[in-house]
């Protein structure tokens, strides 16, 4: 380390002496004597490369010599707008270089990517999370999780014109015309000056990057005329800022010179569990420069108060204000921090407003600090009530709530032996017989006794009961061998496999939701005491024309129906009952 410091200081003094010589000898020769390549692409690199670098070739040096010779125009007077040579800007050269080539030891001091640990939830966050049955964090906490983006300003960021130079920044200066010099790499001293050979010291610290070319041009014009000057930034020195207050990791941080308030706050892990997202202050020389509300950035995309930091700035994160949890049918459930005099309506706006299925005519409020139960508020009360600490606002949903049957309009499907089969929309409380009448009534061939009437609520009830019965049966059959087991018996695996096979077959059968109507075989009408529900279906079959005889008979078959015949008549047609048949 000591050897590096000594060698660095020696090289810096040698460079100044050699650059002073460059004012009286041709520019290419001066660059070669100074030990720097004159490849134009090298101006975009942040480190000074010696001429022994294999990337510095003879052809590139020759091309640069020709370009420097053509840059001089005899008789040209100094005009600030004309001497700006944007082609030598280091920013354009950076785009073609990889990030690793651009990083120097100095860059790596402030381009760090620390592994951030999640900020532990506050007591209020833990309380609300337990209430709603899922994790609920403060709004903005997703920026602080370990896998969030690294918001550190990269070293390849284009330097904005408003950037103010700091001690340690490196300037690249090129002069052509009556005075020639190329690749002057001048580092701003702690006193804020750069020493231009044959010109003298120039104060540049605190100068805007967009104005530094004019400042240096005026300094050179005191000694020379008919020249052109181009100035760009070769290297940015890190700055030290202090993050204090309720930060997750307060302390001093070395960040890029282009870093803003948000970059430094996120580098410190953001606000702690008790820190504010609404008041992050930047103080410079004892003066308040900015009071940044992070909600402006997160909700509005407004970064006007996100100032660029300077060396020695102090960032203070204030304690968190009143926090209100917004849950239920909103677009973003979270815990929101309220500023002075903000209302519950403002909290709803921060949550993105109510969602599509919300009941926007009322909402419920519960105070965790003063637990007096849930309180219902109207929209006008929400707009006037100031948000208080520890409140939980719940927006109710307007869907998924079963309504009384007398309030439910119904869409009923009627098919089969009716005059006009189709789907009919009827008002609440309409009986099934009235729906049949709207369908034109039953035909002469209708057989009401065989009507198939299905209902969705009945199907759901049958399905629940059926699943419960299967589980009970499976438990009974599976435990029976264990109950009846003795020393002379063994549990056969095949028995357990048979049980699983039977249960599997039962599970494949699904209830259809059929509701058997109270109809006699001779009835010619549909009952009037059945009130329809939404999605009911009814199928009225035609009169049967056959009678089926199956089982323990010699000739099972379906026989034509004849009015007046008895069951015995049809059994006789099938050959009678076999000997092993049960006549009872």
Please, are residues 131 and 74 in contact by the beta-carbon 8 Å criterion? no
Write the CA distances from 383 to 24, 101, 243, 322, 418, integer angstroms: 77, 56, 37, 17, 57
- Report the 10 Å Cβ neighbour count for 176: 24
- Tell me how far apart the alpha carbons of residues 281 and 288 are, in angstroms, rounded to a whole number: 7
Residues 274 and 39: their CA atoms lie apart, in Å, by: 54
Q: What is the pLDDT of residues 111-133, one digit of tens each?
A: 444 455 667 888 999 999 999 99
- pLDDT at residue 275, rounded to an integer: 93
- Rounded distance between C-alpha atoms, residue 533 and residue 456, angstroms: 9
Residue in 305, 299, 362 with CA at minimum distance from that of residue 334 = 299
Q: What is the CA radius of gyration of the chain?
A: 44
2-104+169-234 classified as CATH 1.10.1040.10: no
Q: Cα separations (Å) of 302 from 149, 280, 320?
A: 19, 15, 21
Q: DSSP letter string over 48-98?
A: PPPTT-TT--HHHHHHHHHHHHHH--TTPPP-TTTS--GGG-HHHHHTTS-
Bridge pairing between strands 193-196 and 200-203: antiparallel
b/e code 268-278 from CB counts within 10 Å (16+ = b): bbbbbbebbbb
Supply the DSSP symbol for 402.
P
Q: Pairing mode, if any, of strands 334-338 and 275-284?
A: unpaired
How many residues comprise the chain? Answer: 584
3-state secondary structure 477-517: HHHHHHHCCCCCCCCCHHHHHHHHHHHHHHHHCCCCCECCC
Domain boundaries, the chain: 2-104+169-234, 238-319, 456-513
Task: Dig out the tokens for 466 from the structure.
Answer: 């059926």
Report the C-alpha gap between 446 and 525 in whole angstroms. 9
How many Å separate Cα 309 from the centre of its chain? 28
- Closest CA relative to residue 35, chosen from 20, 49, 17, 16: 49
Q: Which helix (H) or strand (E) holds 366?
A: strand 363-367
Q: Which of 445, 112, 420, 431 is nearest to 259 (CA)?
A: 112
Distances (CA, A) of 54 to 39, 60, 102, 258: 12, 12, 17, 32
DSSP letter at 386 equals B
User: What is the structure's pLDDT at 497?
Assistant: 77
Burial of 181 (0-12, 13-18, 19+ CB in 10 A): buried
As a whole number of angstroms, the distance between CA 228 and CA 232 comes to 14
How far does the chain reach from its first CA to its final CA, in angstroms?
110
- Regions in the chain scoring below 50 on pLDDT: 1-114, 147-149
Closest alpha carbon to 207 in 261, 161, 254: 161
The CATH homologous superfamily for domain 238-319 is: Outer membrane lipoprotein wza domain like (3.10.560.10)
Q: Do residues 228 and 75 lie in contact, with contact meaning Cβ atoms separated by under 8 Å? A: no
pLDDT score for 238: 82
- Candidates 463, 466, 459; CA nearest to 536 is 459
- CA nearest to 512, candidates 432, 449, 456, 448: 456
CA distances from 96 to 41, 243, 395 (A): 9, 35, 53
> How far apart (Å, rounded) are the C-alpha atoms in residues 144 and 212?
38
- Given this model, what pLDDT does residue 10 score? 35
- pLDDT, residue 562, reads 85
Instruction: Tell me the pLDDT tens digit for each residue of 238-273.
Output: 889 999 999 999 999 988 888 899 989 988 888 998
Burial code (b: 16+ CB inside 10 Å, e: under 16) for 461-488 equals ebeeeeeeebeeebeebeeeeeeeeeee
Q: What is the pLDDT of residues 546-571, one digit of tens each?
A: 899 999 999 999 998 888 888 889 89
* Paired residues of 138 in beta bridges: 335
What is 113-137 written as a DSSP string? ---PPPPPPPHHHHHHHHHHTS---
């Amino acid at each position: 380390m000591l050897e590096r410091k000594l060698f660095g200081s020696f090289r810096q003094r040698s460079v100044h002496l050699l650059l002073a010589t460059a004012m009286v000898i041709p520019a290419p020769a001066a660059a070669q004597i100074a030990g720097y390549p004159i490849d134009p692409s090298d101006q975009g690199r942040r480190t000074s490369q010696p001429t022994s670098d294999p990337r510095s070739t003879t052809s590139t040096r020759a091309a640069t010599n020709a370009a420097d010779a053509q840059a001089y125009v005899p008789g040209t007077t100094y005009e600030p707008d004309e001497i700006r040579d944007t082609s030598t800007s280091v920013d354009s050269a950076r785009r073609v270089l990889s990030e690793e080539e651009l990083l120097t030891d100095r860059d790596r001091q402030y381009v760090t990517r620390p592994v951030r640990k999640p900020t532990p939830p506050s007591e209020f966050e833990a309380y609300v999370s337990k209430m709603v049955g899922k994790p609920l964090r403060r709004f903005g906490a997703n920026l602080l999780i370990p896998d969030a983006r690294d918001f550190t300003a990269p070293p390849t960021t284009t330097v904005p014109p408003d950037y103010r130079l700091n001690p340690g920044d490196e300037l690249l200066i090129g002069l052509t015309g009556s005075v020639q010099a190329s690749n002057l790499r001048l580092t701003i001293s702690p006193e804020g000056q750069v020493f231009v050979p044959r010109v003298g010291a120039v104060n540049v610290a605190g100068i805007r990057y967009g104005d530094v070319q004019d400042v240096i041009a005026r300094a050179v014009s005191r000694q020379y005329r008919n020249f052109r000057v181009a100035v760009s930034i070769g290297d940015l020195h890190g700055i030290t800022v202090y993050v204090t207050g309720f930060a997750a990791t307060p302390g001093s941080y070395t960040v890029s010179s282009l870093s803003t308030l948000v970059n430094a706050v996120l580098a410190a892990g953001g606000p702690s569990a008790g820190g504010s997202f609404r008041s992050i202050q930047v103080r410079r020389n004892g003066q308040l420069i900015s009071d940044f509300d992070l909600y402006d950035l997160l909700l509005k995309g407004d970064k006007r108060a996100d100032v660029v930091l300077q060396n020695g700035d102090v960032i203070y994160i204030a304690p968190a204000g009143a926090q209100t949890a917004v849950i239920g049918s909103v677009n973003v459930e979270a815990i929101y921090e309220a500023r002075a005099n903000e209302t519950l309506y403002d909290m709803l706006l921060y949550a993105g407003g109510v969602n599509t299925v919300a009941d926007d005519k009322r909402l419920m409020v519960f105070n965790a600090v003063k637990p007096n139960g849930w309180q219902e508020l109207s929209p006008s009360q929400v707009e006037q009530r100031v948000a208080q600490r520890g409140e939980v606002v719940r927006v109710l949903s307007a869907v998924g709530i079963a309504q009384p049957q007398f309030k439910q309009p119904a869409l009923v499907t009627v098919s089969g032996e009716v005059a006009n089969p189709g789907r009919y929309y009827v008002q609440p409380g309409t009986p099934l017989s009235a729906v049949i009448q709207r369908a034109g009534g039953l035909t002469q061939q209708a057989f009401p006794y065989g009507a198939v009437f299905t209902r969705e609520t009945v199907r759901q009830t049958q399905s629940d009961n059926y699943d419960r019965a299967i589980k009970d049966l499976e438990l009974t059959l599976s435990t029976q061998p264990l109950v009846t087991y003795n020393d002379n018996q063994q549990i056969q695996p095949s028995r357990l496999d048979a049980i699983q096979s039977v249960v599997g077959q039962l599970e494949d059968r699904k209830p259809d939701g059929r509701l058997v109507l109270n109809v006699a075989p001779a009835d010619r009408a549909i009952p009037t005491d059945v009130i329809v529900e939404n999605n009911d279906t009814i199928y009225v079959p035609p009169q049967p024309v056959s009678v089926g005889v199956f089982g323990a008979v010699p000739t099972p078959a379906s026989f034509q129906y004849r009015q007046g015949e008895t069951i015995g008549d049809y059994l006789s047609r099938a050959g009678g009952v076999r000997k092993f048949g049960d006549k009872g």
